[in-house]
A = this chain, B = another copy of it.
């Protein structure tokens, strides 16, 4: 996966545990918004990336998986600190994968954003028995 995310300032996988991947996004000044909070698009990008990494952790490097939909609720304004996203694969079907993503500020308990992300899996991918 390094070749797809060579940027050391990009999201880094911290842990893979069962269906869940934990990803850390380093936060720099350029990610900020007035009022000292991380911008919404940074959290959307992280939700999308964490979902993709969670799927790849299950089925291997299918770089051509593409996002078909993303829903995100912004819950609290995160301070300017690294973000941690936990992506859990809810469904891994023949053509669709659905991932739940919870985003936190590093070291804090309160969730700052919550997403549900759907990816289309290219048809060449070996098919599990169930689902669409």
Contact = CB atoms under 8 A, between A and B. Distances in A.
A1 interface: no
By size class, the interface of chain A is 35 or more
Contacts of A118: 68-69, 73, 118
A90 to B, nearest CB: 6
Contacts of A74: 66-69
A44 B64 CA distance: 19
Nearest to A52: B40
Dominant secondary structure of chain A at its interface with chain B: strand
Count of chain copies:
4
Given A90-B111, A114-B90, A75 B63 contact: no
A63 B34 contact: yes
A116 B63 contact: no
Given A34-B63, A40-B48, A71 B116 contact: yes
Contacts of A40: 48, 66-67, 70
B72 A70 contact: yes
Interface stretch (A20-28, A53-61, A79-87, A92-100): A92-100
Contacts of A75: 90-91, 98, 131
